[in-house]
Amino acid sequence: MPACLVVVLATSWVVAQQGLPTGAGELVKFTIPERDARGVLIWQLMGDHAKLRTDGKMEVDKLTVSTFKSSGVDWTFTTPTCVFNRETREGVSESEVKMSNKNTEITGDGFHWLANESRFIIRSNVTVSIEGGISKSVLLTTPAGATNKSSTRICSNLLDFDYSTNRIASFEGKVVAVDPQLTLCCKTMKVFFADKNNEVLRVEAFADVHMFHEGKEGIGEKAVFTRETGLVMLMGSGPMLRDEKGNWMRSRGDGIIYDIGKKTMRVDKPTLEIQSGGMTNAVVSTAPKLWAGPPTPQPASKVVSQPAAPAPAPLAGTTSKPFTKIDSEVMDFVDYTTNRVATFEGNVVAEDPQLTLRCKTMKVIFSNNNNEVLRVEAYTDVHMLHAGSEAIGEKAVFTRESGIIVLSGPKPMLRDEKGNWIRSRGEGITYDTVKKLMHVDKPTSEILTGGGNDPMTPAR
């Protein structure tokens, strides 16, 4: 009888005092609100049963916690068991936990809740589902015609979530984020949410970052994705991006900016290796070893043999396929419907087994079907080197299918292996790199001696 009296009295005390109880005892079917100095409700505890210990802690069964913002429920989390410290306002548990709001659900095992800091830590098996996704993609419509919202799933070993006005979720250990638009794998990730509607604003990935989007793979030490713009910035030491055919684009400068919506790319100080046959059809070496792809996201403790994401060898290896290497100060890549165009600017050098092109601006046009090079256009101060010959002009157009280069502009010139210059006073020079045949419109030949073989300082 006395024990029952304690339970009833304790429960009545909670309802009357509207705050955390003191002393020892038991609570059943209780609700305990916490308010700030102005009397505004900030969070609320509910449970089926609680044992009040003399050390100031509560052992709670079937705990439900609701946090409040602007007089409404913000987050709710539930767990089978929890020990709550009434003095420090901290809750800890080794049990499973579920945390949710209107568009996000978080699950995991073992947690530490710091109520005074608006902070929630899940220690293992973290899985986060975000309705609306980290991108602005839209999934297929339902048969009824309604549109399904996209969603993102993030798995990791640990989550540290600041759910205050900062709204930052920090993931640690084997992080895999899968979205309809892109997949990110890394060691550490931060997701920034909007304070008003809890939508994803920005994602930052750190350490051994791999990004996958429609057959493309990006590799770097840091990636920043901004949802509003749809831009991904790959940074770090030599970030790279591989297209569907295995062509690698490396940045020697500030990094790579990729627009996942428009499928355009800008690379600072790029090096491009074209693996699908190169610009010409010669046979040489190299292609980096590719990662097989991202693992299927699942709770971290259940990932038994998740493959590592090795950075590929620095554009080196062996293969029987030819490749072309292009360096410049900056590159813009546009994925058009029919043809794909890469535009290089500043100190452009394209090295292919068949020829080398130097110029200030270059456009490389790829086939949209098989990603092979269709055409190369070089502009301004063009120098072409091939099998001991050198050509100079203001514009050069190389067509891969025919193997023909057309040099044009004011007085284009071509130098043979002996240093003899052939200048066109007409429409230009046509050179067949396969047959080694040349046609010069209105030619003027100059047999030079002394410095005539200097490829950068021909006589004019």
Query: Comparing 366 with 8, which gets the higher pLDDT?
Result: 366
For 24-78, the DSSP string reads SEEEEEEEEEEE-TT--EEEEEEEEEEEE-TTSEEEEEEEEEEEEETTEEEEEEE
pLDDT for 454: 47
pLDDT in tens, 205-214: 999 999 988 8
pLDDT in tens, 22-55: 778 899 999 999 998 898 999 999 999 999 999 9
CATH of 238-289+315-460 among 1.10.1040.10, 2.60.120.10, 3.30.70.1520, 2.60.450.10: 2.60.450.10
Residue 347 predicted with pLDDT over 60: yes
> Would you give the distance in Å from CA 446 to the centre of its chain?
55
Where are the domain boundaries for CATH 2.60.450.10 in the chain? Answer: 238-289+315-460
- Residue 455: DSSP 8-state: T
Q: Please name the residue that has the structure tokens 């360096």.
A: 327
Question: 147-149 and 151-156: which strand pairing?
Answer: unpaired
pLDDT for 325: 87
Q: What is the C-alpha separation between 353 and 441, in angstroms, rounded?
A: 28
pLDDT in tens, 101-147: 888 999 999 999 999 999 999 999 999 998 876 766 533 333 444 44
Contact 20, 13 (CB under 8 A): no
Query: Comparing 181 with 404, which gets the higher pLDDT?
Result: 404
Query: Comparing 217 with 132, which gets the higher pLDDT?
Result: 217
Q: What is the C-alpha separation between 453 and 387, in angstroms, rounded?
A: 14
CATH number, span 88-140+149-225: 2.60.450
pLDDT for 165: 80
Q: What is the C-alpha separation between 197 and 158, in angstroms, rounded?
A: 24
Size (the chain), residues = 460
- Residue 458: DSSP 8-state: -
pLDDT in tens, 270-328: 888 876 555 555 332 233 333 344 444 444 343 333 333 333 333 433 343 456 789 99
113 to 94, 273, 375: CA distances (angstroms): 12, 50, 60
Work out the mean pLDDT of the chain and round it to a whole number. 79
pLDDT for 309: 38
> Would you give the distance in Å from CA 161 to the centre of its chain?
21
pLDDT for 276: 53
Contact 210, 219 (CB under 8 A): yes
Residue 90 predicted with pLDDT over 70: yes
Residue 59 predicted with pLDDT over 70: yes
Instruction: Report the run of H or E that residue 6 belongs to, with start and end.
Output: helix 2-17
Instruction: Give mean pLDDT, residues 191-210.
Output: 89
